[in-house]
Chain A
Amino acid sequence: MSTTQWPLWEVFIRSKQGLNHKHVGSLRAPDATLALENARDVYTRRSEGISIWVVESANIHATDIDDADSFFEPSDTKIYRHPTFYEVPDGVKHM
């Protein structure tokens, strides 16, 4: 990638009070202030949100896709970790 490119930023938007910020996409901007303004213009033109976070993509640490086997697979075989072996008593609603 050319070094003259502006850094990449990840954009997170909270759609309404009480909900979590959710990742919606990414964009380029020279600094945090303009990243927020660009996010406002690119991602919230149709009342999508009430709060925006931007994080420079370089500051995000992610799991390696090649490690996915050892990272995530073991939990699939341990069904006893899921709370599915209880009888739900009559009268309990919304379960």
Chain B
Amino acid sequence: MQDQALFEYVLRLADDSLILGQRLGEWCGHGPILEEDIALTNISLDLIGQAISLYDLASELEGAGKNHDQLAYLRFENEYKNVLLVEQPNGDFAMTILRQFFFDAFRLPLYEALMQSPVAQLAAIAAKSVKETRYHLKHTSEWVIRMGDGTDESHERAQAAIDHLWRYTSELFFEDNIDEQLQERQLVPSLKGIQANWMETVKAVLSEATLTIPTNNWKFEGGRQGRHSEHMGYILADLQYMQRAYPNMEW
């Protein structure tokens, strides 16, 4: 392989999108109302579309002749490099929206920065995805504000979701030697700046929603190295079943 670090980096992006897209897809037919059911599955399809482009780039970088399906469906659990946040269960509607909001607030500034990357294909994927992500963040922000500043029950549920998910948010900004190497080569942005941007968005929206940021700093990490929570195996069982039962199937 020509560029192991860049391959790993793109794979991490792709796995975040794929696993979150798969999770959101579970809402299909179960949304709280028809309109939101369609909105959630639209976001899911956007994420899976982004994953396809990223896997195509990753497979090109890997140069092993694998297509995007093989990367998406035929790896083992410890070979997936997504953050733990995206594999957490949907829970109630508040949990799903807050998980999505934390992710969107991270992805938007990341894509904006990646549009400047000298890796042309990565910049092109970022430019295409940034519009989708801007809408996702708008939609989830609107919901966070309405739930937080809504009824007692919606406020309570939104706050419970924040309190539960907060421990998974710091991993979004996890950096190791792969990131450092690529940052030195000026191919990708530092996540420090992205984190400051994320915090600004989160503070602004949560304060308008009358919700509070948890004070505890308990953190979970491991996804970027392939160490996942107990939920990941079940997601992969659903995700990989068809491709393993009918190898090379397409539709």
Contact = CB atoms under 8 A, between A and B. Distances in A.
A32 to B, nearest CB: 11
B35 interface: yes
Contacts of A45: 42
B146 A42 contact: no
A37 interface: yes
Contacts of A28: 33-35
Interface in A1-56: 6, 27-30, 33-34, 37-38, 40-42, 45
Range for the number of chain B residues in contact with chain A? 10 to 19
A37 B42 contact: no
B142 interface: yes
Give chain B's interface secondary structure class. helix
Contact of A41 (B39, B142, B146): B39
Range for the number of chain A residues in contact with chain B? 10 to 19
Contacts of A29: 35
B68 interface: no
B241 to A, nearest CB: 27
Given A37-B139, A41-B42, A45-B42, A30 B35 contact: no
Interface string B194-236: 0000000000000000000000000000000000000000000
Contacts of A27: 34-35
Contacts of A41: 35, 38-39, 42
A80 B11 CA distance: 74
Interface of A: 6, 27-30, 33-34, 37-38, 40-42, 45
Given A34-B142, A38-B38, 13 more contacts: A6-B33, A27-B34, A28-B34, A33-B142, A34-B146, A37-B39, A37-B139, A40-B135, A41-B38, A41-B42, A42-B34, A42-B35, A42-B38
28 contacts: A6-B33, A27-B34, A27-B35, A28-B33, A28-B34, A28-B35, A29-B35, A30-B146, A33-B142, A34-B142, A34-B146, A37-B39, A37-B138, A37-B139, A37-B142, A38-B35, A38-B36, A38-B38, A38-B39, A40-B135, A41-B35, A41-B38, A41-B39, A41-B42, A42-B34, A42-B35, A42-B38, A45-B42
